[in-house]
Amino acid sequence: MILPQSAILSAPMNAESQLVMRARAGDPAAREELAQEHRRAAYFLALQLLGNPDDALDVAQDAMLRLFMSLNRFDSRRPVRPWLYQIVRNRVVDLYRRRKVRAHDSLDALYEDGTPRHDVPDESIDVERDALRSELRARIWTALGQLTHAQREILALRDYQDLAYSEIAATLSIPIGTVMSRLHSARKALRRILIADPDFVVETY
């Protein structure tokens, strides 16, 4: 069921809202807790959009500082995550503009031995299956770099960050109905890139 955006606004005062209000009032413990809770997500989204750990860290650090600098202007009834993601994506776009690089250039540059530097290997006992899955993850990661910015963005938010459609709509400032069509189009584009390789086989779950 797709949650309407109004549901976000009418949500009762929850633990996060209280945390934001405490942080806004200057409570150091609340500020630290808020930072610890969200900085990983900021870094991972930046990494998924940029494909480069160093750039991602720069963007995430900057985004976290901006988040705290603008805490007073934030409506504490709303969830923090979509707001933080908006800051991250704006910083990512600024970085692209400043450097005049295409997104997938930096993604391609990640690969030295065919494996993403940041991909932690599986630790289960089915080595062959794990190797296939690891290869699939690496191929998907490479293929992401060939998508458009909008396609990569929506895949990052849904398939990597696991945001609900309503949260994606709030983050991207698009109608919820558009989320599904854009997401499907991005998934099909990703699939097209992957199956273009004759050696590639998707191991269905």
Partner 1 sequence: MASCTRSFDEEMLSGYLDHALPQSETRKIRIHLEDCESCRALYNELKALREAARNTNFKEPDVEVWPELPKTRFGFFSRSLGWTLVVAWLVVVAAYALWRFFADTGDPLEIFLVLGLPGGLVLLFLSVLIDRLRELKTDRYRGVQR
Buried b (16+ CB within 10 A) or exposed e, 39-63: bebbbbbbbbbbbbeebbeebbebb
Closer to partner 1 by Cβ: residue 7 or 65:
65
Here the tokens at position 59 are 């963007």
Work out whether the CA dihedral 76, 151, 118, 51 comes out positive or negative: negative
Minimum CB–partner distance for residue 87 and partner 1 (Å): 10
Q: What does the alpha-carbon distance between residue 121 and residue 123 come to, in Å, rounded to a whole number?
A: 6
Residues that bind partner 1 (CB under 8 A): 1-2, 26, 28, 31-32, 35, 39-40, 43-44, 47, 53, 57, 60-61, 64-65, 68-69, 72, 86, 89-90, 93, 96-97, 117-120, 133, 136-137, 140-141, 149-150, 155, 158-160, 162, 164-165, 172-174, 180-181, 183-185, 187-188, 190-191, 194, 202-205
Q: Which is nearer to partner 1, 16 or 42 (CB)?
A: 42
Dihedral angle sign, alpha carbons of residues 38, 43, 46, 48: negative
Minimum distance of partner 1 from residue 19's CB (angstroms): 14
Nearer to partner 1, 81 or 89 (CB): 89
Kindly state the tokens that stand for 151: 């396609």
Q: How many CA atoms lie within 13 A of 95 on its CB side?
A: 25
Least Cβ distance, residue 193 to partner 1 (angstroms) = 11
Beta carbon nearer to partner 1, 12 or 128? 128
CB of 15 to partner 1, least distance (A): 20
CA distance 202 to 135: 10
Quote the least distance from Cβ 160 to partner 1, whole Å: 6
193: number of Cβ within 10 Å: 18
